[in-house]
Structure 1
Amino acid sequence: MTHARILIVEDDPDTIYLLEYWLRANHYQCIGTVATGHEALALANAEHPDLVLMECGLPGELDGIETADILLERYDIPVLYLAATTDEALLERAPAACLTKPFSERELRRAVEAALDRHALLIRLKASEAHLAEAQAVAQQKLDPRAVMDRHTEQAAKRFRMALESAPDAIFLIDPATMRFIDANETACASLGYTREELLARGPDDIKPLFSRTRLSERFDRVLSGQPDAGTIQTLHQRKDGSTFPVEVSLRPFAAEGKSLMVVVARDITARQLAELHLKEANERFQQFAENINEAFWIRDLEEDRFLYISPAFETLFRRPVSSLYQNARAFLGAVHPDDLERVTAAFVWQREHRQGIELEYRIIIGDHVIRWLWVRTFPIRNEQGKVYRMAGIAEDMTRRREYDERYRTMIQASLDGFLALDTQGRIMDCNDAYIRMMGYSREELLQLSIADLDFRESPEQAAEHIRLITERGQDRFETQHLHKNGRLINMEINIHYRPDSRGGQLLAFIHDISQRKQAERTLHRSVARYRSILRAAPVGIGVLVHRVFQEVNEAMVRMTGYRTEELVGQSARMLYPTQADFDYVGMEKYRQIQTHGIGSVETRWLRKDGEVIHILLSSSPIVEDDLAQGVTFTALDVTASKQAEQERLVHEASQRDALVREVHHRIKNNLQGVIGLLRQHITENPGIQPALESAIAQVNTVAVIHGLQSRLPQQELQLRELLLEVSNAAAAMALVPHSPTIQDTQPGDVWLDSGATVTIALILNELIHNAFKHGRHADGTGVTITLSGDDKLTTVHISNPGDSWPGNLNLTTGTGCGTGLDLIRTLLPRHGAQLNLYEDGVMLHAELVLSAPVIHASEYAEPI
């Protein structure tokens, strides 16, 4: 049996399926399911549900809490929140009950029942709106409530005033001299949120934001002096938490113990102000409604037998002025068709005598013998004592409806859906051919049955209660099962409306066979179950993206990233990428492959929640071919372990390769040293070629030094400092000087030589240092100094030795005046990153080798020049 009409506002398919299943199982009517706030407002406006189950975090312009605020304000519809988080900031915005996912059926049942009961209680407690509720009840029966509201305004105000007078007020005792509270009752403390001790430590100016201490003192003086208009104030009181509320304050002086004290009674008038606002709004709606409805509406005083109000539509309907009825309450009878006059007159006499409403159809004659059919209904209005003293009525032109009845019946018979007309006892009064074919009965057989004989799910008692609820609400839409004549159950969706009439009313039901849809739903449910089973069992991450926003992920994806499902779903995939560049590259490359090949695969990096970077092989395919807007499915394979294994293999191979290279350098050094030994033997055997051989030995030795250094280092590049030391020592040894030259090193850090320039720079340094030993005045080399200065951007090797001057015609650019050694240096000098400067000061000869990029750099690894 349906207990309430409930709207679901949710964007998660699993939650929607569970809620719809639970509502059907517990006989609630689900009037619809939407996924956005705007859709919820539109459906609520059309259907006006009894309760809304609302997801807090809705997509779109309106979230669930904002949508609920509008529903409560605009339609007075209660809301039960469904939250996928326990975020306090979010839940604090929700004034209604909130159910946190996941929830059990027991929790859902309690929450739904509590929400419905709470809203019903709030409706009963709104006594100040009783007059508005009566006007709305009349309007629901197509009555214009404007005149009725006039009758109830005074009554509602009296009831509201009685309720206020019976409620406990806040009472304060104040000493005007000290402007402090002396005493206060519990209502005063509770209304302001203070304890008694906190309140008595304050004064009236602490709770009245609109009054300064000076203004309050002046007001008290006026009260004490007996001014009659000073004893009542409408103002605001401020609670401990800073919030304010309107109050009506009554001030009365009295004397005690020789002091003039003040008794203050403060009454919270929030409800009254709201009631006045609602009453004003109701009167405005009443006026708009009365002036614009097509039906003739009136209110008649039974005691004086006169009309109190007649709507303008009377003149359109009867073609007579409204004034004629104000002058003669029976003037309308002059338009009644002679064949109906006696019946109509008797009906209105009966109404007056029995003080009960009537309903009847009759004809009137207007203009040039034009006949109109009217449907007239009247409703009793009671005074405060419960006595009927007025009657409201409405007359509707039903001429066209009578014409439409035949068309309507033709349409019903042509409908593919079944149709039943029931009385309020559930007995079948009429049916169409589609329902006859659907159920296997003949028309005569069906007209002998009631709906309880056909509905498999409802007992006769439940069916009777269901009918009662439909007549109260006016309509219902629900699913059930009807029993075919051969015993087969047929799944039905029924849309039923209550149509009141003079015979007690009818229930008109359109019945749609949803057996195929139910079968499709079961198939879909099994398909979804299999799909989710695959997702759970898959060893790789699987999910769905729409516009690169996660819509669904499996457990493997959760384990892989370290995030919970709710932390991923609804978020952009950007959250998993270490950089924006990674995110952009994957999007561009993957979607390019999808557009070209229908599937995209790319290797990338993801950042886990704990900060660890993992390597992922990402593959994607569109859900709908050639329509990426519908989203893509993806698989994510963690290849971090295989990447690490590959890296370890490359490191091992590089280590083996470096060891082999060092061994080659070592053997080359040994062979060069052997060559140097042979050349030294030739010097002894051939003294005439000693200078040329010594120069060659020096150059070969320099190369041997370089290979010796590279055989000891794990890379091919050398530090300039280390190379300079080795070359200078080797040059001193070749020059047979007893002392190695002094090297002054002022560099703050390491400067590395490019691997492609190492041999060239070594040969240049060897020639410069060898020449310094050879041509210096002191044959023992003690006058030779070497200075290393600068940084990794610009480094200078300064070599100086005693001497008179360089050759006068020396020109390094053209080679003029250069001996063999300088000519070799000029040839070897790199075109970029190296410069040689030669100068003299009369005592010393100086050679400066200035080095910069790309010959030198700060790191030991760089691309060779």
Structure 2
Amino acid sequence: MFGQPPSAALIDLVSDPVLTLRGDLSVLRANPAAREWLGSDAGDGWRLLRQAAGIRLETWLRDATHAIDTGRPPPTAPPLKLADGQRATLHLLRERPNWLLHARLSGGAHDSGEPPLAEWLALQPLPAVLADALTGTVLRHNAAFTALCSSAPRHLNDLPDLLQALLGWQRGTPLPALTAQRPQDAALLTEAEFTDPQGRQRWLQARLRLWRHDGGAQLLAVLEDQSTLHERDLAHQQLDALMDTAAVGLATFQPEAGWLKAHRKGSPFKTGSKQPVGSLQGINREIVEPASLPEFERLQRALKRGDAVEVRYAVRHPELGRRWLLTRVAPGLLAGGRRSTSVVTLDVTAQAQAENALLLRAESERAVLDSVLVGIVTVGPGGIEWMNRSARRMFGCELEDVQGQPMGVLAPEDDEHAFHAEPGADVFECKLRGRDGREFWVIGNAVQTQREDGGTQTTYALLDIDRRRQAEAQSRLAQASLARIIEGAPMAITLHEAQGLRIVKLNHAAAQLAGRPEQALLGGTPAQLFGAEPGAQVAADMREALESRSTVQREYQIQTGGTTRLWDTRLLHLAGVGGDDTPELLLLVASDVTEQRAAEQARLQAAISQRELLVREVHHRIKNNLQGVAGLLQQIAARRPEVAPVLKDAVGQVQAIAQVYGLQVGASGPLLLKRVFDAIVGSVQRMQGRVITTMAEGGALLNDWCLPEAEAIPIALSLNELLGNALRHGQGTQVRCQLICDLAGVTVEIVNAGRLPEGFALQNVRSGVSGLGLVRALLPRRSAILSLEQQGEDVICRLELIPPSVVHNPGTKHVD
């Protein structure tokens, strides 16, 4: 029956029962015919009807809703037999989010056979017409349809061609799409631009449906003027395109309805949520920068009161960073007197950044100009506008004292003064008068530039040449004083040009150093100043000073008058001390330190001699004391035979230490290893009363290897213990000891008759106070290697010493 769901008012005019159902198919609304059919409580009547119809109705409702939602034709509803002999044929239509259920009753009082639109057609405000679909005869039409035609139509063929096409009438027959319509199909829509009898262009949309009854067919058409909607959509498209292009956010606020429209999602203003923030309600207070909060609050108050305002503020966006927004609030009245407020938000970040850049640039330029030493004064049409710090100091006043006055207030009363003449590009020199009455001369120029308002301004740059001349005079005096000091200084001072190292200036002491007149040395080389041999070294040191840019100190021995003098010399690179135009120079300052170094050397030698004397005396006394201790121990051993073996070992150790100190009495520095070896062997032979066969191999190397002072006593004690151990375990046989020296180090090899215990390992011997235990405790671990091995009937003990346990003799030359 219905293609497109009619409005609620039209539904009430339909003579057939029509129910508006919710999503769960419960009754939301019923027209009068439905309430007459189901009872005054149509919801309860519909529930009872569903219970009475059973599973067939429920299955059809489920299948029909699913088919319509998926875009498929719904199945035919099962016929329902009612209690009063009527039959009901149901049709289900979608009106989102609800459903429309239309019931055709037949076999009873409700089956009138007349079209259901007969009663409400005249009340339809839209143009509507009912025509015979077979003959084209116009059966009914309303006044709105008549207004589209020049006269009341009697046949569809009498209508304009465009209107016929809108009504689905083509060449005397309905369109095939109409004749193929089924009851459950949606209405057929047609659209066209039509010119009404008044000449207005109107965009019409027609909804068409065929109503079949008793073998006949009638065409029902409802036309709707879409012109206003088209114009509105076009305006929206143009406005959205404008806003998207210009990055504009637009919103409309009505007190009754709230925000009506926000900007499209293409707006550049976004927050963390999906909601666009082109409108004001999308800009959270949290993202507004603290400095802009007062302006933002002013905007909020204006919005609440409906006042017109324009506010610019800064926000900190989590993705876009710092952005500047300009929001304009414009209140207005709609038709019917309703108030509304339009809010337009622009992203003016680029403009704000440009303005800030200009301000920063202007402040930077002012700061630079304020820091220069040249006095700068800006004069506009109204007089002096700005002065930098140097100008204020030059004229002895502040800007407020002369602001707005002509430039002539700073000049003497002279009509031809440069400040009274037209400014030009030439440099001028003139006399000025400060506010404190001081007159002084300046050199400067004036430049005219354009102002933003179209006028011109003049900028004067002035340099106080009086102070410069005073500074130059003071500099000349200082240079003269320095020249006198240099000339009278006892040190030799010369200036050399950096390229060829030639002498540019020298004082009298430098001439005496060279033994030649000053004029003869000007333009000379270092060789002419110091002599040929030291001159080459001096030139090399000068180039090093030029490259290092730091003071280089050297000492040179120079032959002067048949004697050798020692000069302490310092070289300094003077880079750009006289300005950019001054060539680079090298300063040489030399002092004769011959007597000073000789006195220092004499003091050093005296100190060394005194120290050596004291050391020899100490060593001699230590030796005597150790020998006294050894004698006491021997006396105790003679009185106490039970401890004689232990004391005998201790006496040998004390004698070994005494031998070392005895060798150090007449020597300085490291002890010759050969002398220590011979002394220890002799001491052991005397203590043991046995003869040890000794040999030495190495030739000149025997006098090359020495023992450092720190290692002499540990190695002497170790050698004493090893020899004593060989004599004790040698079973009275001959003990052989050999000293072998080579380039790598020294080896002491001791051979005695005997046999090592079964499973003997030197690393298992614990440290002790005698024997191998004492040797392991005394020997350096990294530079001394001790080994014991059995060869036939002999035991061979080998002690290898390498640096730093042994060192080369400082008094001999050796090859590494």
**Higher helix fraction: Structure 1 or Structure 2?**
1
**Common topology (TM > 0.5):** no
Under a length normalisation based on structure 2, what TM-score does the superposition of the two structures give? 0.36
Under a length normalisation based on structure 1, what TM-score does the superposition of the two structures give? 0.34
